[in-house]
Homo-oligomer: A and B are copies of this chain.
Amino acid sequence: MPLFLTSTLSPITLAGPPVTMTDSILIHNCTLLTTPDAPLIADGWLLTRGDTIAAIGSAADTMPLPETTRATIIIDGQGKLLAPGLINAHNHCAMTLFRGMADDLELATWLTEHIFPAEATHVNTEMVYHCSKLAAAEMILSGTTSVADGYFFEGEAAQAFVDSGMRAVAAHGVIDFSAPGVPDPAGNLEAVATFLDRWQGRNPRITPAIFAHSPYTCFAQTLQGAKQMATERQVPFFIHVAESSQELEMIRKPLGTSPIRHLAALGLLDPQTICIHCVWLDDEDLSLLAKHQAAVVICPQSHLKLASGLAQASAMIERGIRVGLGTDGCASNNSLDMFREMDIFSKTQKLRTLEPTSLSAREALRCATLTNAEILGLEKTGQLIPGYTADLILLDMHQPHLTPCYNQDLLVYSARGADVQSVIIDGRLVMRDKKILSFDVDDTMREVRRLAEQLPGALH
């Protein structure tokens, strides 16, 4: 490092309230992963200004001296790697309450005897707020800076993301059943409109969106109404589709077609539609997704744990379909750690093809950063480039399981969320030295434990 940094600047000890986004942060003396496919840069530095990456370089460059000396926070990145924050493209955050409540059960038993009854009686505004905040804590601690969420009482979830410091696409649910917050499905689209009215343009970190539950739980006209509203309001449209073989039958029997062909026939597939799961697709389904440029999000651990199957992710990518990556809600995972998800994503695709070259570590990194940002409409997000949003994670590489380090594949096959030491979202330091600065996590854990005690079987 140039001498002036270590001799004239002393790191600032954080105390008091979290810094605001108008601050400037300098991270120096670290390894840089600017984008999944670029070689790692040793001895690099990065400067933020407000919510944006202002400048970036290696020690060989000259740092912009006047600006770096004005940085409010200076972080010595010795032994650390600075990377773009990971993005989780599918979650039902509030379901942290049900984490591990009922595992290893038949799908029907799990849903009808455990998840649906618990949701019917224990999902309310308080639950969604605290349990989404718990999810945010877990995600920040494991290096996820943006999440796409979809659940009931989505306004409470959005507020939890605002308060936690995360970036989020918060999608209001639509389902043709009585649901928490919307007892009469006739009021479905009105509830969504109210939510959009409230959240569009309200906070630069929150993108409101619409999440239609699935082709087997929503009538055709509901799906079309929801998609039309998404198009008019220019917000993302999510839908669970082709998750299980049971779903194939549920669509095939009454309609004589596949779930994807059903969506295509309704005019729902376009570049702003994000199809979640897509485990059970045939060749024609793949062609339709490619033709309409609809995006896909895979949730590998959920697909394994619920025994849904194995999505053809590498084949989709080869056909030019944008494939993102998400954890799903943590009742069916049961972890929100995107490092774990990237690892299993890459490895299980090799199992599908029996080719060790399938879905490389770098491809998994790309899905969890650049592609997820692109799919979710998060502009200038997912890589370290001046002018891009300052969503950054700093990993502690000075650990046995990350030694030696040959290249960034280590992040997928060896690293884990717990290696993340500091997190910057939207230019704001929300975690430093594994301590979340943006809110009181102990308080959130206490609230969620209190809620869990009302469910059968909670230990603490």
Contact = CB atoms under 8 A, between A and B. Distances in A.
Contact of A347 (B31, B40, B301, B358): B301
A367 interface: no
A99 B404 contact: yes
A233 to B, nearest CB: 33
Given A304-B350, A353-B307, A400-B445, A405 B458 contact: yes
A336 interface: yes
B353 A400 contact: no
Contacts of A40: 459
Contacts of A307: 350-351, 353-356, 358
Interface in A215-230: none
Interface in A247-268: none
Interface residues of A, number: 81
A448 interface: yes
A80 to B, nearest CB: 11
Contacts of A406: 99-101, 452, 455, 457-459
B459 A413 contact: no
Interface stretch (A104-112, A192-200, A370-378): A104-112
A137 interface: yes
Given A309-B351, A309-B354, A356-B107, A404 B460 contact: yes
Interface string A352-382: 0111111011000000000000000000000
B457 A407 contact: yes
Given A96-B403, A400-B138, A459-B40, A351 B103 contact: no
A96 B334 CA distance: 29
A356 B104 contact: yes
A70 interface: no
A348 interface: yes
A398 interface: yes
For this chain, the copies found in one complex come to: 2
Contacts of A104: 346, 356-357, 360-361, 409
Nearest to A411: B100
A99 B414 contact: yes
A97 interface: yes
A71 interface: no
Nearest to A405: B459
A449 interface: yes
Contacts of A361: 103-104
A394 to B, nearest CB: 16
B459 A414 contact: no
A135 B347 CA distance: 22
A423 interface: no
A340 B100 contact: no
A305 interface: yes
Interface string A70-100: 0000000000000000000000000011011
A457 B405 CA distance: 9
Contacts of A357: 104-106
Nearest to A416: B416
A291 interface: no
A166 to B, nearest CB: 13
A355 B308 CA distance: 9
A51 to B, nearest CB: 25
A319 interface: no
A306 interface: yes
A413 B328 CA distance: 14
A287 B401 CA distance: 39
Contact of A42 (B245, B356, B457, B459): B459
Interface string A333-348: 1111100100110111
Contact of A360 (B103, B138, B354): B103
15 contacts: A42-B459, A100-B405, A100-B407, A100-B414, A104-B356, A104-B357, A134-B400, A141-B399, A141-B400, A307-B354, A333-B413, A340-B416, A397-B460, A404-B458, A416-B416
Interface of A: 31, 40, 42, 96-97, 99-101, 103-107, 110, 134-135, 137-138, 141-142, 245, 301, 303-307, 309-310, 330, 333-337, 340, 343-344, 346-348, 350-351, 353-358, 360-361, 397-401, 403-407, 409-410, 413-414, 416-419, 441, 444-445, 448-449, 451-452, 455, 457-460
Please provide the 6 A-B residue pairs with the shortest distance between their CB atoms, ordered closest to farther: A418-B418, A404-B452, A304-B347, A137-B400, A104-B360, A334-B413
